[in-house]
Amino acid sequence: MKVTQSSLRVGELATGQALTVPLYTFSGSESSAPSVYIQANVHGAEVQGNAVIYQLMTLLESYQVLGDIVLAPLANPLGINQKSGEFTLGRFDPITGVNWNREYFDHQVDVKAWYTEHQHLTNDELFQAYRLMLIEACQARLTNPFGITTGHRLAVNLQSMAHQADIVLDLHTGPKSCKHLYCPEYDIDAARLFSIPYTLVIPNSFGGAMDEAIFCPWWQLTEYATGQGREFLVPVSAFTLELASQERIDLADALEDAKGILAYLSHRGVIAEKVNPASMERFGCYLKDYKKFHAPKAGLIEYCASVGEPLKAGKPLVNILRIDLYGTEQAYQAISLPMDCLPILHFASASVHQGTELYKVMTNVFSLQSS
């Protein structure tokens, strides 16, 4: 199965050069098979998803692809190319500060009105009409007479493509992080298919990210139809995969994640072959129990807790060195939490102002049983 290449224009730089995203398409052989959209590197420093797409494409060349698969690596050219010192300053628009991953369009569909008007349609027709409406709303955004922001233009262009797919995967990483998955509560069974041990179970509501922008309108439609006595599964799935740490390319590890994605695609019938998910213990945590720990004081940070390894209450998360306070108790101090937790990621720098987010930790972790 061979891939074809095209590109998507998502903006224009001050010098006039176009901002473009490379697109790779595998055309599936079965029109009834689900279609897929996978993007990577919307945050500029989170490059590993590109390596995963590379490995996934290499693998797919040997498989029988049934559903269309569109892959968009290097999805944020402005963010990726924005350096500040030795690192990529790719988390937010350098002009406005707006997080590139909070620029997706919130459709705020009036589901009741829309459904009332379209309820006579068959399921397939209904889904097709709804999808078209979502895509057209994105296109309308892009042609706003007062223009739209740089970040919104990028995001809505990507979103417009993503709305065309049945399965959407957004590949991110944390700063210094173990692998984890953002999964909507209604779709929790999917969490056992990827090669990712930790899953954040998120509410079925819009928080600004790509996955939410995709599944929320569909979940709302499904909920409303159910309330009207018409039952169907949420027709579209969307996940954010956090594939370890930023500023890191590791092709061997990328192959593992590509296989995990392949297992999910196999399960969904996107490829003809059977690919089993990796065998591993998997754990979940509700978003409300996912805690951000901010530096209670400034200083130099020795990160003690390893990401992906359970930490007992009272064990040091960090040590804070305050050499300006040498000779006092404050000079070198351990900081711990009062409850057991699972550290998922920590800050990238070893010196922090008061209030810097030092760690994100899961609390009240539960096992995700095999079904």
- Contact (CB, 8 A) for 204 and 218: no
Q: Cβ closer to its own copies: 226 or 351?
A: 351
CA dihedral for 304, 308, 309, 311, sign (positive or negative): positive
Is residue 3 a contact point for its own copies (CB under 8 A)? yes
**Nearest residue to 14 via CA among 94, 91, 90, 87:** 94
Compute the least distance from the CB of residue 247 to its own copies, in Å.
5
Indicate whether 329 belongs to the interface with its own copies (CB under 8 A): no
Single-letter amino acid code for the residue at 283:
F
Question: Min. distance of Cβ 4 from its own copies in angstroms?
Answer: 10
Residue closer to its own copies (CB basis): 98 or 225: 98
Which of 1, 8, 98, 129 touches its own copies (CB under 8 A)? 98
Among the listed residues 118, 289, 331, 336, the single contact to its own copies using CB under 8 A:
331
Q: Which of residues 52-81 bind its own copies (CB under 8 A)?
A: 53-54, 57, 73-74, 77-78, 80-81
Stretch 284-303: interaction string toward its own copies, x if CB under 8 A: -------xxxxxxxxxxxx-
Whether the CB-CB separation of 175 and 245 falls below 8 Å is answered with yes
Q: Which of 333, 193, 198 lies closest to 266 in space, CA to CA?
A: 193
Helix count and strand count (H, E) for the chain: 7, 20
> Taken in order 309, 315, 321, 322, is the CA torsion positive or negative?
positive
Please choose, from the candidates 152, 153, 114, the residue with its C-alpha nearest in 3D space to the C-alpha of residue 132: 114
- Asked whether 263 and 190 are in contact (CB, 8 A), the reply is no
Count the site residues for its own copies by CB under 8 A.
94
Which member of 26, 92, 130, 186 binds its own copies (CB under 8 A)?
Answer: 92
Residue from 62, 85, 281, 309 in contact with its own copies (CB under 8 A) = 85
3-state SS record for 144-173 = CCCCCCHHHHHHHHHHHHHCCCCEEEEEEE
Containing 133, the helix (H) or strand (E) segment is helix 123-142
Angle at 246 between CA 92 and CA 76, to 5 degrees: 45
CB of 160 to its own copies, least distance (A): 16
- Kindly indicate which of the ranges 7-15, 185-193, 234-242, 305-313 contains the residues binding its own copies, using the contact rule CB under 8 A: 7-15
What span, in angstroms and rounded, lies between the C-alpha atoms of 63 and 256?
A: 17
Smallest distance from its own copies to CB 368, Å: 25
Q: Helix or strand or coil: residue 266?
A: helix
Sign of CA dihedral 10, 96, 239, 142: negative
Q: Which one of 14, 124, 369, 371 is in contact with its own copies (CB under 8 A)?
A: 14
**Of 35, 319, 333, 364, which lies in the binding site for its own copies, with binding defined by CB under 8 A?**
319
**Interface mask toward its own copies for 135-164; x: CB under 8 A:** ----------xxxxxxxxx-----------
Q: Which CB sits closer to its own copies, 25 or 276?
A: 25
User: Cα angle at 211 between 158 and 284, to 5 degrees?
Assistant: 155
165-204 residues in contact with its own copies (CB under 8 A) are 175
Binding residues for its own copies restricted to 210-249, rule: CB under 8 A: 247-249
Angle between helix 123-142 and helix 150-162 axes, rounded to 10 deg: 160
Span 250-289, contacts to its own copies by CB under 8 A = 250-251
Least Å distance, CB 216 to its own copies, is 22
Q: What phi and psi values does residue 184 have, to the nearest 5 degrees?
A: -70, 150
Residues 347-366 that bind its own copies (CB under 8 A): 347-357
Stretch that binds its own copies, among 93-101, 159-167, 274-282, 307-315 (CB under 8 A): 93-101
Nearer to its own copies, 234 or 348 (CB): 348
Binding of its own copies by 333 (CB under 8 A): no
| Contact pick of 125, 136, 189, 324 for its own copies (by CB under 8 A) | 324
Q: Binding of its own copies at residue 87 (CB under 8 A)? A: yes
- Applying CB under 8 A, which of residues 321, 342, 345, 362 lies at the interface with its own copies? 321
